[in-house]
């Protein structure tokens, strides 16, 4: 069983009427907005939806689409007329993954976690105050948790996110909370700073984070962070599955598996495990 994703109309940053504050040209900013919108909708978008994203007339939007298509960044479904992300965009994104060599190091550990737990294993990083999922080993079970690679989740409302938050400096946590807040995703989501601080202290003590139906009702998750040579959190790995197979009584067992794998990955990439009171 995968996590049902609600189809929302993509919302992009509207292009301004002049040059952006960073000095980028209008066309570049609008083109990047188009790519962001298409990346958020793998099934593709029609011309009118894309025009709404960039806040332009369809004719102007079509010219931008043609330019991106000519360079190989996007493709068009000839039958449906929908525009989608192209091979060159994938290649650029894949270069990012190759540069983050801990992703490649983590893949066999994800597969081993799935073998040992029977559940889906994920790897995520922190980006712009959110958890972003980069790699996955799917459970062989018919009912299983599946996360689309590249999808995002709030740090405070996901196992991977909480594992990362727990090891960040207090000032960085405060910055994220001011920017993102503590919105409730489910009725179980942590939604006060006091509860979040208690949760992060517990994560540091036990070495793993638990998501008890905080991101999706019916799904539990256990996660642990991977650290760089300075002890800073680079990313986090997790095991997720239905509450029926990951009840409260199994969280500590899976926490041990995930925590051990995260420590081994940290060691292999030359990282350092911080002490429980170090941030």
**CA 183-132-248 angle, 5° bins:** 65
Q: How many domains does the chain have?
A: 2
Lowest mean per-residue pLDDT among 82-91, 113-122, 173-182, 202-211? 82-91
134 lies in the same domain as 81: no
Q: What percent of the chain has pLDDT over 90?
A: 54
The predicted structure's pLDDT at residue 239: 97
The predicted structure's pLDDT at residue 279: 60
65 lies in the same domain as 119: no
SS3 call for 21: coil
The predicted structure's pLDDT at residue 25: 75
16 lies in the same domain as 120: no
85 lies in the same domain as 104: no
DSSP string for residues in 36-51: HHHHT-TT-B-HHHHH
Domain that residue 257 falls in: 100-268
| Residue 245 φ then ψ, to 5° | -105, -20
Q: Extract the tokens encoding 156.
A: 């405070």
The residue whose two tokens read 């638990």 is 210
Lowest mean per-residue pLDDT among 8-12, 220-224, 229-233? 8-12
Report the chain's C-alpha Rg in angstroms.
Answer: 20
Mean pLDDT of 158-180: 94
Q: pLDDT tens across 258-279, in order?
A: 999 999 999 988 888 887 666 6
Asked if pLDDT for residue 180 goes beyond 50, the answer is yes
């Amino acid at each position: 069983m995968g996590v049902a994703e609600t189809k929302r109309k993509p919302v992009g940053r509207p292009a301004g009427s002049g040059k952006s504050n960073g000095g980028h040209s209008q066309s570049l900013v609008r083109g990047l907005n188009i790519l962001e919108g298409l990346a958020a909708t793998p099934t593709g978008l029609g011309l009118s939806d894309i025009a709404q994203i960039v806040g332009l007339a369809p004719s102007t939007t079509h010219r931008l689409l043609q330019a991106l298509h000519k360079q190989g960044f996007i493709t068009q479904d000839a039958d449906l007329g929908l525009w989608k992300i192209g091979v060159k965009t994938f290649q650029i994104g894949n270069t990012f993954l190759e540069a983050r060599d801990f992703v490649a190091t983590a893949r066999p550990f994800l597969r081993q976690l799935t073998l040992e737990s029977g559940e889906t294993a994920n790897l995520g990083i922190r980006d712009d105050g959110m958890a972003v999922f980069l790699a996955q080993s799917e459970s062989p079970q018919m009912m299983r948790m599946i996360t689309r690679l590249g999808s995002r989740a709030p740090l405070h409302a996901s196992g991977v996110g909480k594992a990362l938050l727990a090891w960040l400096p207090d000032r960085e946590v405060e910055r994220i909370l001011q920017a993102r807040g503590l919105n409730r995703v489910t009725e179980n989501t942590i939604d006060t700073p006091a509860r979040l601080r208690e949760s992060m202290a517990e994560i540091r003590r036990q070495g793993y984070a638990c998501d008890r139906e905080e991101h999706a009702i019916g799904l539990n998750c256990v996660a642990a962070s991977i650290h760089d040579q300075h002890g800073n959190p680079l990313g986090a790995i997790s095991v997720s599955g239905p509450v029926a197979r990951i009840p409260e009584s199994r969280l500590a067992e899976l926490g041990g598996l995930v925590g051990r794998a995260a420590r081994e990955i940290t060691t292999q990439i030359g990282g350092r495990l911080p002490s429980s009171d170090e941030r």
